[in-house]
């Protein structure tokens, strides 16, 4: 039996064609670990596409983890829903576990030690199966399990900013994985692996197309394409959503207006919703970017965001669909501090949204910067469910070639205290609580997934996809614990690797802040492509797309005064939260305009501290390279080489950020660098003259 | 040993992660075949990157082909160059084999039956190694080999129409495999597999960027990226070339002109060539598209193609580089029949090109249509070396989702008789002969390679890459023999598969001609994207980009009169060739304008025959689907499903071509369909109204 298994494995891949470790397997790598055989024989009760997926995953996973050894016949794994008499007989506490939770217990069943996975629904069984696999993959003991888990929020959704021509806005992992051209005729087997990876994290929704949407995505041919994707994802508990272009009634409906209060427009959307549900019976709903960065919206007709969102909600409601309405709005006709505008527009609408509408808010009030304070809306709309929007793809964080683990960034936001209901009202709690009553809750992540073989453009960017999914399930998980799991599943359980790589990941975000935007600086990257430093960016279409608007450097000092003396954006927070944030040196130049000689906590002047931090960022990348070089004995050659190559890019670009920013800001500070710090090798004009016409992701 | 090997294979891939047959392995699949063990132990004499590649390929290939069984110790394989004493001692006839040829002989060496691969150069050894592997893969007897092979032409080159933003013009296989953004820092391991696949065919050059070139590709950062690719390809005997934008001296050189007779321009190109060779010491040279479809060129300054080409040739000559100057030129200011223009512009320049310039001519005088007569330049420039340009990517042949094997198309062209030097002066001979003296010879193929996992966008399109490479090595190979090899290497040697799939491939091109452009029709596809039928395309920027320009349908008849009564394009051929082509019914509407009631060879009227042919094309695709369905037991599930899905697309689109073209042409013929032929289900307006805004490859 052992030999037969090995022979089969050998034949199936061909001895001459053993595949390299190319990252395709993600964290579902299932390489042999000690103890896997102890799980025993698998029985999944019942039969359905979802239960078959659970069974297949357990068999595939455990076979890989056992490394060809047979399962123990003395132990067993039993999985099923409460509808199965065998599970019901175990009387497990499933009442409170909802439609997606599960219980995992170590029990004696028919005289054998048995790992039982029980759930109210089939997808709960699937989630439980992935949980057991994760325990085995990470070498947790499985003999005395007593686990009950359910997701903190209802909607755990990836937002694909994928265009119908298969380009991906802010994508750094190749083309869209959605091959629209060949859909619905051809369903790439890769879609199944996408579904498996997401289900392993509990992600239950996927918005297939870019928020900067084309109306074509709502035409019948494209609905059929989306339906084909939905068919593949369905067994894995993942619903398909679409970004809806607000002006679609004009563009593909032939109407003269898209006014949300116009009866013909309302009728058009109702009919469109009916058509969608005929094509995709379990369609999730719409994501909408309206009246933002040139997108059409209800304000084009003098209507509010609530008018627009509620009209769509009304069309979807009979079918159980939801509207995720983005709060990322700002207008260049509006002279107000850009970061204040979403609060100004949305807080008056608190409580005015329909029951099936949720407002989707980016983690910070600007735009996915290396560091921002949490978005003040999280403390300001108690009657409205707010969905978190994180950006998994690294638009502002060095694209795919910088190693930046975002777990700490997201943890920092989720654990920030809004004081909305008094001390301890963390963003995580606000998001999980939703609005009073039984409304929606959710978390969205802008996907970093593309057609690249390794899915995310780099091996370590897989960790960001992983961390998003884990936090969407439980926003109170620690970034460090998530990284630890991911490292073990993706690379190995060898402590010689787990600890140093975990430390490297933990430090990576702060290192990136240091070499890009220390001390509260923000939005000083290259124009349009957002690649590399661009603190000199000025002029052009709109002031709030420039760097000088945000850093305001002059011979007198630097920073954006957002206190009462300035834009007073700080007043959008609860007083205690505003006080904490504005006193935090990490946000110094976000909230304050300070002279170059201002003394910071270290005792240094602001100027000296800036130089020190930028330099520390470069040193941090050098340390990462050293750590990774030492991992060579513990990582396969192919993945080690790719990561090493990217770290070399990152070091060069960190140095470039440091040198360009110091050269630029020095033209205002007119101060020397502190002793021991090398001056930039070129004058600022040299950095300004660099151009990158073929940067990806635009 | 046997068990140890199997265990190693098992561990290296993980029992739970056996990879599907996704086509990545191409024809280098190396699955077990009978007889592989008989090859014996491998010895490759000497050590160098190329010899290591040969050794690695033999070891990898034979290990796979043996299926884990050990090599016979009673036999041996010995490979090396004539520089090795052991090879020299065998006194094999290597004198005439040139720098790339090889000899393979079955000999007794040291008392053992030995397969000897000998060559004058290391790359010859590599080519010979692939030859032996091909013999084993296709189950040829290897006991009594006596082979001497060398390439018919010097330059065997892929043209990548790949842009610097990683899009591919007329590419249907995903993004460019050249990840310019991450080069030169990161060299995707895939580049090695690209090199292996090409070397297995004898392809020895790769033009990395689009003929519609950006000058940026000649800047130092991009030269360094090209150098990184060159470094990977070098051991495999493949040189890197670049498409050069003729106006580069203005765009990146800061000169006011790109006039090829201007001394500053000439000096700029000389300096640029020197810079390139400092970066890429074995750089191959330039491919140039000049004064064609809006590209800059010497005619912008009143100079000839020869002036332009020779200037570049002069810059490259000291380094041994060559210029491939495309003859695909036409101008919309020129009222002459478009297909005549290249002949008119180039024949006066015969003999005027520098020694290191070769003129690259598309197979036909229009543009890679389903069927065209051979290009008249092949019979008309005896003093100039002419390089064949085939289009492997299927711009006009249904993109990646139509199964069209191009072997028969290319064979038809190569075996056509130009009568240049009397009867029997086939295009193949003209191309292989070059110009008098020891000038250049070559064949180029516009690549169908992209980042898609299966490389070419579909499994069967791999056969077109394969066939191009094989024909570039030996233009007199038969399309059927090439298909037979490819099927065996790619799928299996099972006769239950080889014969029917071979027949299907052989018929596929004629089937496609039938459902797209029967009886000599041409250029009646959709505008711009070239997807689907568009016989109604009229108006717009230029007449010769419309369909009506070419088919000239009216109530009186259809076809383009290119006889003496019309444009007299036929006179560009030798009289005997022109007579043969114009009398060939396959080119009827290419050369003649005929009334709808004209009787064709079948006895039917032209109109009836058109309907019959279009319908026969659809039937042909139905037959392909039946054939493929019957192959299910003989092909792995993943590849079988993909091909089946694409064939379904092809049938639907063949039907669409038939119906749309019949509906359109019937508005002129005003005749009923012959009995038994179903009328199109929609009026012509329905077909005209279809639009495809996100078609790939533009």
Residue of B nearest to A63 (CA): B16
Has A688 been annotated as catalytic?
Answer: no
B14 has a pLDDT exceeding 50:
no
CB contact set of A15 (below 8 Å; sequence gap of 6+): B5, B6, B9, B32, B63, B64, B66, B67, B68
Q: What is the reported pLDDT for A336?
A: 87
Q: What percent of chain A has pLDDT over 90?
A: 94
Q: What is the reported pLDDT for A112?
A: 95
A687 has a pLDDT exceeding 50:
yes
Has A367 been annotated as catalytic?
Answer: yes
* Mean pLDDT across A158-164: 98
CB atoms A694 and B185 under 8 Å: no
* Mean pLDDT across B349-368: 98
A451 — contact with chain B (CB < 8 Å)? yes
pLDDT in tens, B160-202: 999 999 999 999 999 999 999 999 999 999 999 999 999 999 9
- Alpha-carbon distance A659 to A533, whole Å? 9
Counting one residue from A and one from B, how many pairs have CB atoms under 8 Å apart? 157
Say if CB A134 and CB A128 are below 8 A apart. Answer: no
* Mean pLDDT across B32-36: 92
Has A389 been annotated as catalytic?
Answer: no
Q: What is the reported pLDDT for A696?
A: 97
CB atoms B25 and A5 under 8 Å: no
A645 Cα to chain B: minimum distance (Å): 6
Q: Give start and end residues of each alpha helix (H) in B476-605.
A: 479-490, 495-516, 548-551, 575-582, 588-591
Which residue do the tokens 């444009």 mark?
B567
Helices vs. strands in chain B: H and E counts, helices first: 21, 15
CB atoms A13 and B13 under 8 Å: yes
A393 has a pLDDT exceeding 80:
yes
> What three-state secondary structure class fits B322?
strand
CB atoms B18 and A3 under 8 Å: no
B117 has a pLDDT exceeding 90:
yes
CB atoms B9 and A9 under 8 Å: yes
CA distances from B306 to B249, B297, B301, B303, B359 (A): 18, 11, 13, 8, 10
Distance, C-alpha A553 to centroid of its chain: 32
* Mean pLDDT across A259-288: 98
B396 has a pLDDT exceeding 50:
yes
End-to-end CA distance of chain B: 54
B19 Cα to chain A: minimum distance (Å): 7
Categorize the per-residue pLDDT at B1 as very low, low, confident or very high, splitting at 50, 70 and 90.
very low
Q: What is the reported pLDDT for B332?
A: 64
Interface of A with B in 174-233 (CB under 8 A): 174-175, 180-182, 185-187, 189, 216
Beta bridge partners of B391: B446
Closest to A560 (Cα-Cα) out of A521, A607, A593: A593
Mutate to test the interface with A, among B5, B6, B15 (most CBs of A within 10 A): B15
A544 has a pLDDT exceeding 80:
yes
Q: What is the reported pLDDT for A13?
A: 35
Q: What is the reported pLDDT for B295?
A: 95
Q: What is the reported pLDDT for A627?
A: 98
CB contact set of A367 (below 8 Å; sequence gap of 6+): A328, A396, A523
User: What is the radius of gyration, based on Cα positions, of chain B?
Assistant: 26
B317 has a pLDDT exceeding 70:
yes
- Alpha-carbon distance A555 to A668, whole Å? 5
For chain B, the residue count is 698
- Alpha-carbon distance A435 to A432, whole Å? 9
Categorize the per-residue pLDDT at A542 as very low, low, confident or very high, splitting at 50, 70 and 90.
confident
* Mean pLDDT across B408-423: 97
Q: What is the reported pLDDT for B5?
A: 36
Q: What is the reported pLDDT for A437?
A: 81
Categorize the per-residue pLDDT at A8 as very low, low, confident or very high, splitting at 50, 70 and 90.
very low
For chain A, the residue count is 698
Please, what's the b/e burial string for A327-349 (b: 16 or more CB within 10 A of its CB; e: otherwise)? bbbbbeeeeebbbbbbbebbeeb
DSSP annotation of A198 reads H
- In chain B, which residues have their Cβ closer than 8 Å to the Cβ of A20? 189
Bridge-based pairing state of the strands A76-81 and A41-44:
parallel
Q: What is the reported pLDDT for B13?
A: 35
Catalytic residue among A21, A100, A337, A367: A367
pLDDT in tens, B232-260: 999 999 999 999 999 999 999 999 999 99
Read off φ and ψ for residue A457, nearest 5 degrees. Answer: 90, -25
B557 Cα to chain A: minimum distance (Å): 37
Say if CB B597 and CB B607 are below 8 A apart. Answer: yes
Neighbour tally for A676: CB within 10 Å: 7
pLDDT in tens, B515-545: 999 999 999 999 999 999 999 999 998 889 9
pLDDT in tens, B439-469: 899 999 999 999 999 999 999 999 999 999 9
Q: What is the reported pLDDT for A3?
A: 37
Neighbour tally for B476: CB within 10 Å: 13
* Mean pLDDT across A548-563: 98
Q: B190-199 and B220-233 helices cross at what angle (nearest 10)?
A: 60
A10 has a pLDDT exceeding 50:
no
End-to-end CA distance of chain A: 54
- Alpha-carbon distance A211 to A162, whole Å? 8
* Mean pLDDT across A445-449: 98
Say if CB A209 and CB A162 are below 8 A apart. Answer: yes
Mean pLDDT of chain B: 95
* Mean pLDDT across A605-611: 98
Neighbour tally for A359: CB within 10 Å: 25
B583 has a pLDDT exceeding 80:
yes
* Mean pLDDT across A260-277: 98
pTM of the model: 0.96
Catalytic residue among A314, A345, A389, A395: A395
Q: What is the reported pLDDT for A35?
A: 87
A694 — contact with chain B (CB < 8 Å)? yes
B647 Cα to chain A: minimum distance (Å): 10
* Mean pLDDT across A257-262: 98
Residue of A nearest to B641 (CA): A186
A68 has a pLDDT exceeding 60:
yes
When CB atoms are compared, the residue of A10, A12, A401 closest to B182 is: A401
Say if CB A169 and CB A698 are below 8 A apart. Answer: yes
Q: What is the reported pLDDT for A335?
A: 75
- Alpha-carbon distance B325 to B288, whole Å? 5
Mutate to test the interface with A, among B12, B14, B217 (most CBs of A within 10 A): B14
């Amino acid at each position: 039996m052992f030999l037969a298994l090995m022979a089969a494995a050998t034949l199936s891949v061909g001895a001459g064609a053993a595949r390299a470790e190319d990252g395709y397997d993600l964290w579902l790598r299932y390489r042999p670990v000690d103890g896997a055989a102890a799980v025993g024989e698998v029985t999944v009760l019942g039969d359905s596409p979802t239960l078959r997926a659970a069974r297949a995953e357990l068999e595939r996973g455990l076979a890989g983890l056992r490394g060809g050894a047979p399962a123990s016949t003395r132990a067993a794994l039993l999985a099923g829903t409460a509808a199965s008499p065998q599970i019901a007989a175990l009387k497990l506490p499933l009442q409170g576990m909802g439609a997606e939770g599960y219980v995992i217990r170590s029990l004696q069943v028919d005289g054998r030690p048995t790992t039982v996975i029980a759930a109210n629904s089939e997808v709960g069984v699937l989630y439980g199966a992935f949980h057991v696999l994760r325990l085995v993959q990470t070498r947790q003991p499985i003999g005395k399990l007593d686990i009950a888990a359910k997701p903190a929020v209802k909607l755990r959704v990836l937002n694909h900013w994928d265009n119908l021509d298969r380009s991906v806005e802010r994508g750094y992992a190749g083309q869209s994985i959605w091959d629209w051209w060949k859909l619905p005729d051809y369903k790439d087997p890769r879609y199944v692996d996408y579904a498996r990876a997401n289900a392993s994290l509990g992600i239950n929704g996927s918005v297939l197309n870019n928020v900067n949407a084309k109306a074509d995505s709502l035409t019948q041919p494209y609905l059929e394409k989306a339906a084909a994707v939905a068919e593949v994802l369905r067994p894995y508990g993942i619903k398909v959503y679409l970004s809806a272009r607000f002006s679609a009634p004009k563009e593909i409906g032939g109407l003269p207006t898209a006014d949300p209060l116009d009866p013909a427009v309302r009728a058009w959307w109702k009919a469109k919703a009916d058509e969608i549900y005929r094509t995709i019976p379990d369609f999730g709903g719409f994501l909408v970017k309206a009246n933002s960065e040139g997108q059409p919206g209800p304000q084009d007709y003098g209507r509010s965001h609530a008018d627009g969102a509620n009209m769509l909600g009304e069309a979807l409601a009979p079918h159980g669909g939801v509207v995720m309405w983005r709060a990322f709005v700002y207008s260049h006709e509006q002279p107000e501090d850009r970061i204040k505008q979403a609060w100004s527009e949305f807080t008056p609408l608190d409580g005015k949204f329909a029951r099936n509408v949720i407002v989707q808010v980016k983690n910070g009030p600007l735009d996915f910067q290396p560091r921002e304070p949490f978005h003040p809306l999280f403390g300001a709309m108690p009657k409205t469910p707010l969905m978190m929007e994180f950006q998994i793809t690294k638009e502002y964080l060095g694209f795919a070639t910088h190693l930046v683990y975002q777990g700490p960034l997201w943890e920092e936001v989720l654990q920030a205290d809004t004081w909305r209901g008094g001390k301890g009202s963390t963003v995580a709690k606000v998001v999980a609580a939703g609005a009073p009553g039984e409304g929606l809750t959710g978390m969205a992540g802008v996907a970093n997934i593309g057609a690249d073989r390794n899915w995310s453009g780099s091996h370590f960017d897989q960790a960001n996809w992983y961390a998003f999914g884990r936090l969407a399930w439980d926003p109170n998980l620690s970034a460090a614990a998530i990284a630890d799991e991911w490292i073990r599943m993706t690379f190995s359980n060898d402590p010689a690797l787990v600890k140093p790589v975990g430390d490297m990941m933990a430090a990576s975000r702060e290192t990136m802040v240091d070499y890009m935007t220390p001390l509260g600086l923000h939005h000083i990257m290259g124009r349009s492509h957002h690649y590399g430093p661009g603190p000199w960016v000025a002029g052009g279409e709109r002031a709030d797309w420039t760097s000088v608007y945000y850093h305001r450097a002059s011979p007198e000092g630097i920073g954006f005064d957002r206190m009462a003396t300035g834009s007073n954006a700080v007043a959008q927070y609860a007083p205690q939260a505003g006080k904490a944030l504005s006193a935090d040196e990490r946000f110094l130049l976000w909230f304050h305009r300070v002279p170059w000689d201002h003394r910071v906590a270290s005792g240094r002047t602001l100027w000296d501290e800036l130089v020190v931090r930028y330099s520390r960022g470069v040193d941090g990348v050098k340390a990462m390279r050293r750590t990774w070089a030492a991992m060579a004995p513990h990582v396969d050659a192919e993945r080690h080489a790719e990561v090493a190559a990217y770290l070399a890019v990152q070091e060069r670009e960190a140095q470039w950020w440091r040198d360009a920013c110091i050269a630029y800001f020095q033209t205002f500070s007119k101060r020397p660098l502190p002793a021991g710090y090398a001056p930039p090798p070129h004058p600022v004009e040299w950095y300004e003259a660099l151009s990158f016409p073929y940067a990806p992701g635009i």
